[in-house]
Amino acid sequence: MTLEEKIGQLCLLNGAGGHIPDHLRQEIAAGRVGAVLNEVDLGTVNELQRIAVEESPSGIPLLIGRDVIHGFHTVFPLPLGQAASWNPELIERCARIAAAEAAAAGVNWTFAPMVDIGRDPRWGRIAETLGEDPFLASALAVAMVRGFQGEDPSQPGRIAACAKHFAGYGASESGRDYNTTDIPEIELRNVHLPPFRAAVEAGVVSLMTSFSDLNGVPATANDFLLERVLREEWGFDGFVVSDWESVPQLAVHGLTADDRESALAAASAGLDMEMASTTFREHLAGLVEEGKISTGRIDAMAAHVLRAKLRLGLFEDPYSGTASWRPPADLDPAGAAREAALGSLVLLANRDRALPLAKPFLGSLAVIGPMADEPVEQLGTWIFDGDPARSVTPLRALREYLGPDVEVRYERALDTTRSRSDEGFPQAVEAARSSDVALLFLGEESILSGEAHSRADVRLPGIQERLISELSATGTPLILVVLAGRPLALESVVDEVAAILYAWHPGSMGGPAIVDVLFGEASPSGRLPVTFPRVTGQIPIYYAHKNTGKPPTPETVVHIDDIPRDAEQLSAGGSSFHLDAGYTPLWPFGHGLSYTEVSYSNLRTSRESVPPGVSLTVEVEVANVGDREGDEVVQLYVRDPVASVTRPVRELKGFRRVRLAPGESRTVSFELHPDDLAFHGRDMRPRTEPGRFHVWVGGSSAAQLRTEFEIGHPSED
């Protein structure tokens, strides 16, 4: 290959959506393009491949990239909603179906999974994350990579995955997208990098860099991330692609003076492929001639890309859809979408067992809100290829389920979730007043979350809170179903409704899944993958926080309204909390109610003390003491209370989903190896330190059932 052809492999250009412009045809034929994105017309894709294989000098096929984030034609819950299922097997199945549908359209590479840790609901892209916890996100990232790629990504219906955004993107200041991230290395290694490492160890073909800078060096040109961590420490042999035009943006950040310096900085730091912009194509050859970049570096970059194409089997068969293969019928996209939506639903509150509703005793039902009948909005963000015709909305599903026996009174009340006109309130109030129950479908439409859609205030937008208040005054029981792309601060409305079901943006089959839960055809089993704040001002709030030197307790907390007028200001202070919000979230990580009751007892460890390198078994008795079958997500948390660096008050280290019949009891076991308790210390090396550990098992991060064990000191021998 000539230098120009090698550089061509490093160039990812945008497609034209169903046709091939002359300039793109010429560039591919000249060997100056290695990949094309956003082309999903099968005939066009195959013509692009034909040009690359038959007309370019080296005959190297193309990568065809697309954002297949949470489905293709069939849309599953947004990733944060999928994470609420705590079900890796189900998530792998969803990615498998998405890959099959995308592959049938010619796509062979997706820009997913997004594995950034999301701890700030103001950030619009929290919708795409797998939540706030490194352990859960790592497990689900592996499931998605396996779903997209399978054991062999060259097999029909499989596509290459791309773990993004490397790294720290989820910690953008103030939750503003693209914003600066300042993350101490110890936190970067202990919190933000583990899901990426899990994806690498699962065989992910590619990684994408973050838009943001990291501790002063934009990720697109961050050699610490791309060379030291990714290549040297983790041994990654795939390729790294930039995000959209993030190479020339290095100059906007202020790291470089112009496109030439940007190309030099990114290539020197370890970036392999440039997305959309053309600084590599325009400047790398000249930089090689000037001795600024070695031919060895260009060879390595091209080799990383070519290795991915080999893994995908593109040299053997570059074309898509030309064989008899089609997505197997047993994948059942609609069934999987319904199961995934069902698994994502989290019952946050259920006062006096308002849910499930009893169909035989229901004469009339008010359905109110702008999210009740929106086929597109329930799909959520990043659904370029989603087919709204496949959407079954909650209103449609309710009418189909209830039939003619129950009168359904539908009132939109608000044009959108952002509306500030109360013109539709009187009709909504009358519908609620004259009905046995009112179902409120509120939240935020999909445009309010996703990339570049951050919010400073995460309450219900518009005048939805006032709508709830006026409907509450009717005395009719209110069931609030929230469709949203992020956790919302719901403290102001939680006491005005009888129950709250959080549905996220549930995808194509969200309607039937919601109806299944509302009427008890299924018991809710979703659990929160992210903490819900009481008010926006508590953000960031997450369960795995540090203890501080002055941890809050119920005894040390005082509310702003309870402070006497003449209270004395003491320099000694008190503890760490907000005067107007306390220190607890509205709902903790891992929380989720069911229609049955589960008890935990007899928490025990196989040994009280274990030597280094020896595994420990943790067991607990879990019993269904209610009268309905249900799923429980059994969660294990640990704490290292004394360490060489301060550690979180709790960390998730295991979870099991178990189905229990009424009266059934089961022993649930977890195996803990000392390596599972390792963290990066002051020298940035992973270590497991000897000493006592606390362990909790329960139904959320607020579990109270606790025991202890000890890891012994290494032998003196």
Q: List active site positions.
A: 243
Where do the H-state alpha helices sit in 317-424?
333-344, 394-402
Q: Which residues pair with 14 in a beta bridge?
A: 37
Q: Tokens for 2?
A: 């000539």
CA distance 12 to 5: 13
Confirm if 32 and 3 have CB atoms less than 8 A apart. Answer: no
Q: Is the peptide bond before 153 cis (omega within 30 degrees of 0)?
A: no
What single-letter DSSP state applies at residue 569? P
CA distance 129 to 126: 5
H, E, C per residue of 393-461: CHHHHHHHHHHHHCEEEEECCCCCCCCCCCCCHHHHHHHHHCCCEEEEEEECCHHHCCCCCCCCCCCCC
Residue type, 627: D
Largest CA distance in the chain: 85
Q: Which helix (H) or strand (E) holds 95?
A: helix 88-103
CA distance 186 to 676: 17
CA distance 315 to 334: 34
Q: Tokens for 559?
A: 């509310």
Q: Which residues pair with 604 in a beta bridge?
A: 619
CA distance 484 to 448: 9
- Residue 22 buriedness (CB in 10 A; 0-12 / 13-18 / 19+): exposed
Nearest Cα residue to 117 out of 695, 648, 583, 658: 648
Helices (H) then strands (E): counts for the chain: 18, 26
Rg (CA), the chain: 27
